[in-house]
Amino acid sequence: MEKRNESLPQILIDYIDALVKRAGGGSKVRLDIREELWCHFVDALAGLENEQVREKSARELIESFGDMNMLAKLIKRGKKRCRPLWQKVLLRSLFVLCALIVGMVVYAVWFLMGSPAPSVDYLARLNTMTQPAAAAAENAWPHYEKAIALYVEPEEVDKARDLPEAAPGNGLDEAPERTDNRRLSTVIGGIAGGHTYTPFGRLKPEEQAAVSTWLDRNEEAWKHYLEASRKTYCYRPYDVGDAEGHPMLRNVLLPHLGSVRNLARVGVWRSERQAYENKAAEAVETCLTLLRAGRHWHQEKGTLIEQLVGQAIMRLGLEQIIVTTAQSDFSADQLAAIQRDLAAICTDGFPTTAMDTERLMFEDTVQHSFTKGGPGGGHIAPKAFNGMIQEFIGGGDELAYLSLGLHAGRDRTLKMGSMLYDRMEQIVAMSPYHVREGAIEKIDTLLEADGKWRYALLRAMIPGINRVGEMRYQSKALYEATLTILAAKRWQRDKGTLPENLEQLKNAGYIAALPADPYSADPLKYNIRDGDFVLYSVGSDFDDDGGTRDVEHVWGRAEPGADRVFWPVN
């Protein structure tokens, strides 16, 4: 290069060095630029021998090239355009990759730093929504509260009977027992799994004595429970303890529900003992007390769990009325009075299941889980959502953070939630038969339409709504079956024979309407057999099995097939 430069004036050599330096690029690129400039200048000066002429021509050439900075930029662009395709693709891919990495880092920082900004006090809204406009003197809660405080657990009676404590890690019913003296909690049973227990009259003498002791020790608690049931309404303000700021509705404390269920068991066994002592009218009145109490908790504006507990208590009362009717010889007037009392408790039929509180709880959870503002109205706040995932479905951090990047924004989540709760209200208002025949699109199908994690928060919160609606219609069928049984027995007292069919009862005014079967399009099945009548639903298999019972599955099952038999009593 030094030998080649000897053929050019120094001014051009300096110009080439400066231009190559400004053009930049790799060594090969710089060498190519230098080669092209050298060839250009050599050709331009060819034939000029005089040094002064060559110097003058060199200056003119430099001036004709124009601004050096602009020329350097043009050279750079030209070299880029002349690159091979694979180099262009590679360089652009690297540029895009770097941009994506930077963008993801910025997004991650923005996303992880996001925090909820709750602004609505949904707890206050819930309390306002559920508080009835009635006199405070008609509020049943103060009496329920006293009853709860006075309630005596079966374990207290077992201690007096000198029974062993429950085995560590086991339930009370699995505790060590003497073969001739069962624990009281085993004898009296519960209300969660259905109304199944050994009737009072079939208990061993020592078990009857234990039950009677337990009932006597709960006499004061029952008096307050009875007084509470006679009140017009039950209102207990919801609270979440000592939470600061905007409390979350999902943390509402409901410690009273367990005691309310326990007191219902007291009522069942009071009724059992009264019927055994031939006090049938008192036994029925005790059952009516359970129905009134259950109606308090099955209020349409309460939480879903309270509605389900109230529904369970009402089922206990209804089933016990049927049992008492089977054990007693009521007159036609007494049966008519029981019918009127039942109708007075459920003036508009068996209460519906309302989703208003569940909807409020969802909206409140959204404001505690999403940021406010920005794209989509806000995004999931990772820490808040991760805590909820672990609480609702037990997932770990990896599950939550997997969901976060894919989850819909605040606005779309609220819109989808509103649509789903509308759909749930439709489902709980339909019998299982009509849900199946109507081919209603399932909630899970709607949630998965946009991907498994698109609405992870809703998936975690939505209750088993089909089961909720089914339980309500089972309870409704039990209520209507009880009225029908009382009417059929009343007809028998009045006329000396059984009614030929349910239409005959309705046409004569003994029942207001035919009892609906939740698992078919027809009323409950009614047949006369062996001098008695059979009243049953076709059961959860949607198939009429002729009134066959399944002792373990009261509402039947697909195999081997069974029905829900209301009468005769098993």
C-alpha distances out from residue 64 to 43, 58, 60, 425, 511, Å: 15, 10, 6, 84, 112
Contact 469, 475 (CB under 8 A): no
Q: Each residue of 358-370: pLDDT tens digit?
A: 999 999 989 988 8
pLDDT at position 181 is 67
**Lowest-pLDDT range, 129-143, 168-182, 445-459?**
168-182
More confident residue, 355 or 388: 355
Residues 6+ apart with CB under 8 A from 535: 481, 484, 485, 488, 515, 524, 525, 526, 565, 566, 567
More confident residue, 53 or 504: 504
Q: Is residue 351 scored above 80 in pLDDT?
A: yes
Exposed/middle/buried for residue 193 (C-beta within 10 Å: 0-12, 13-18, 19+)? exposed
CA distance 144 to 526: 40
Element (H, E) at 537: strand 532-537
The rounded mean pLDDT for the chain is 84
Residues 6+ apart with CB under 8 A from 232: 134, 135, 138, 140
Please list, residue by residue across 145-177, b when 16 or more beta carbons sit within 10 angstroms of its beta carbon and e when fewer do.
ebbbebbbbbeebbeeeebeebeeeeebeebee
- Look at residues 414, 439, 412 and name the one whose alpha carbon lies nearest to residue 426: 439
Q: Which amino acid is at 436?
A: R
Q: How confident is the model at residue 180 (pLDDT cuts 50, 70, 90)?
A: low
Q: Which amino acid is at 140?
A: A
C-alpha distances out from residue 157 to 164, 179, 219, 332, 352, Å: 12, 18, 14, 40, 38
Q: Each residue of 383-418: pLDDT tens digit?
A: 676 655 555 544 455 455 555 567 888 999 999 999
- Look at residues 130, 114, 105, 48 and name the one whose alpha carbon lies nearest to residue 296: 130
Contact 538, 544 (CB under 8 A): yes
Q: How confident is the model at residue 168 (pLDDT cuts 50, 70, 90)?
A: very low
pLDDT at position 29 is 72
Q: Is residue 69 scored above 90 in pLDDT?
A: no
Contact 500, 478 (CB under 8 A): no
Query: Could you identify the residue written with the tokens 């359970």?
Result: 290
Q: Each residue of 297-319: pLDDT tens digit?
A: 998 788 999 999 999 999 999 99
pLDDT at position 192 is 41
**Lowest-pLDDT range, 54-68, 160-174, 406-420?**
160-174
Q: Each residue of 483-523: pLDDT tens digit?
A: 999 999 999 999 999 999 999 999 999 999 999 999 999 99
Positive or negative: CA dihedral 81, 83, 85, 86: negative
CA distance 208 to 181: 11
Q: How confident is the model at residue 2 (pLDDT cuts 50, 70, 90)?
A: low
More confident residue, 26 or 159: 159
Q: Each residue of 443-464: pLDDT tens digit?
A: 767 777 777 778 888 877 776 7
Provide, rounded to the nearest whole percent, the portion of the chain with pLDDT above 90: 45
CA distance 474 to 467: 10
3-state helix, strand, coil in the chain (%, to 5): 60, 5, 35
Q: Which amino acid is at 521?
A: A
Residues 6+ apart with CB under 8 A from 496: none
pLDDT at position 508 is 96
- Look at residues 154, 330, 188, 339 and name the one whose alpha carbon lies nearest to residue 272: 188
pLDDT at position 523 is 97
pLDDT at position 319 is 94
Q: Is residue 94 scored above 50 in pLDDT?
A: yes
Name the strands in the sheet holding 525-529, side by side, starting at the edge strand that comes first in the sequence.
Answer: 525-529, 532-537, 564-567
- Rg, Å, the chain Cα set: 41
Single pTM value for the model: 0.78
Q: Is residue 381 scored above 60 in pLDDT?
A: yes
3-class DSSP state of 131:
coil
More confident residue, 229 or 52: 229
List the structure tokens of 456.
């992870």
DSSP state of 557: -
pLDDT at position 178 is 44
Of 170-174, 389-393, 534-538, which has the strongest mean pLDDT? Answer: 534-538
Query: Could you identify the residue written with the tokens 């051009």?
Result: 12
Number of H-type helices and E-type strands within the chain: 25, 3
Q: Is residue 184 scored above 70 in pLDDT?
A: yes
Q: How confident is the model at residue 167 (pLDDT cuts 50, 70, 90)?
A: low
> 3-state SS of 80-111?
HHCCCHHHHHHHHHHHHHHHHHHHHHHHHHHH
Angle formed at CA 529 by CA 524 and CA 534, multiple of 5 degrees: 25
Biggest alpha carbon distance in the chain? Answer: 147
Q: Is residue 263 scored above 50 in pLDDT?
A: yes
Element (H, E) at 528: strand 525-529
- Look at residues 67, 78, 66 and name the one whose alpha carbon lies nearest to residue 24: 78
pLDDT at position 18 is 85
Of 52-61, 253-262, 385-394, which has the strongest mean pLDDT? Answer: 253-262
Q: How confident is the model at residue 174 (pLDDT cuts 50, 70, 90)?
A: very low
List the structure tokens of 561.
């097939």
More confident residue, 565 or 395: 565
Query: Distance between the two ends of the chain, CA-based, in angstroms?
Result: 113
In the chain, where the domains are located: 2-82, 132-236+254-329, 356-468, 476-567
CA distance 494 to 134: 41
